[in-house]
Structure 1
Amino acid sequence: MPIKLENVGIAVRDLEETIAFFTDLGLTVLGRDEVSGEWADIAVDLDGNHAKIAVLQTPDGHGQLELFEYIHPDAIETEPTRPNEIGMHRVAFSVDDIEESLAVAARHGCRPLRGVANYRDIYKLSYIRGPSGIIVMLAEELQKS
């Protein structure tokens, strides 16, 4: 049975703030909508489900994020995820220039969790805490082919 990754879904506090962050990093908004109704209740197992959504795509056309901000029921605030917690871990992106990408993130108040690491002179990478506490990994390949 063939399988294809469609997108990664992330619930956010503020849809517009999160769209601004990811579009500044280079993603493009493919579409926006509001979803509700019986089909949405069944699909996600929440009665009265109503959310604003946006689908963003990476410049290479392969990766997509579906961001959703709940109107009903109220979103549940949790502590920010730590890298060693079970469950959704992070979203990772390859970037051409990690310093430039970190500068973009900083304009949104997002900073590295610790700093920029060098992995065996193959990648420079950093985990940052993005909007709504999303952990975002940025990686710059050092040995480009």
Structure 2
Amino acid sequence: MKHTSLLRMDNISIVVASLDHAISFFQEIGLTLEGRAMVEGEWAGRVTGLGDQSVEIAMMVTPDGHSRIELSQFISPPIVSDHRNAPVNALGYLRVMFAVKGIDEMVERLIDQHGAELVGEVVQYQDAYRLCYIRGVEGLLIGLAEEIRQQ
């Protein structure tokens, strides 16, 4: 019997109301727009189980080229549920965490330029990280972590 094995995590998908706003927000964090396209037709509906669908997607890639976020804006069918403002102890996917440099400056930029909100505060975890959760564009929960360099 042939065994299969995991090769990598390809991407994580986030459904958004405004693709343009979401792209701008994730570019501010440091991701690059890799591509933008319409995904529609019978084959796509067979994958998602939604039948006839029309979705515009944008693929964002991290600076190291290893991680991607697929942003999806549904044209049809319409959005049926909204989990963006669920508290951090709600069931399901919680957040995406990004490793950053200059966490204080990044939080300030995201608040000033994109209306993000700090969920709690920037805290230090042992001698390893400074980290925080922010509510970004459309209420999306994003984690930021800055590694503390030991001298």
Q: What TM-score results when the alignment is normalised by the length of structure 2?
A: 0.91
SS of 1:16 mapped into structure 2: helix
CA distance in 2, matches of 1:7, 1:144: 32
Partner of 1:84: 89
TM-score (norm 1): 0.94
Shift of 1:78: 2.1
Q: In the TM superposition, what whole-angstrom CA distance separates every residue of 1:108-136 from its partner, at most 9, and x where no partner exists?
A: 00021011111112111010011222110
Alignment gaps of 5+ in structure 1: none
Q: Does 1:125 align with 2:131?
A: yes
1:113 counterpart residue number = 119
Task: Tell me the SS of whatever aligns to 1:75.
Answer: coil
Aligned to 2:32: 28
- Alpha-carbon deviation of 1:144? 5.4
| Runs of 4+ displaced beyond 3 Å | none
Is residue 2:60 matched to residue 1:60?
A: no
Q: Percent of aligned pairs with the same residue?
A: 37
Deviation, structure 1 residue 26: 0.8
> In the alignment, residue 67 of structure 1 is paired with which amino acid?
L
Give the Cα separation in 2 of the matches to 1:144 and 1:15: 39
Structure 1 equivalent of residue 146 of structure 2: 140
Contact 1:25 1:104 in 2 (8 A): no
- Cα distance in 1, alignment partners of residues 42 and 88 from structure 2: 35
Find the structure with the greater CA-based Rg: 2
Please report the RMSD computed on the Cα atoms of aligned residues, expressed in angstroms.
Answer: 1.4
Worse-superposed segment, 11-20 or 40-49: 40-49
Confirm or deny that 1:2 pairs with 2:11: no
Residue identity matched to 2:87: R
Kindly tell me the number of residue pairs found equivalent between the two proteins.
145
Q: 1:77 Cα deviation (Å)? A: 4.3
Q: CA deviation at 1:81?
A: 2.1
The residue aligned with 1:73 is 77
Question: Gaps spanning 5+ residues in structure 2: where?
Answer: none
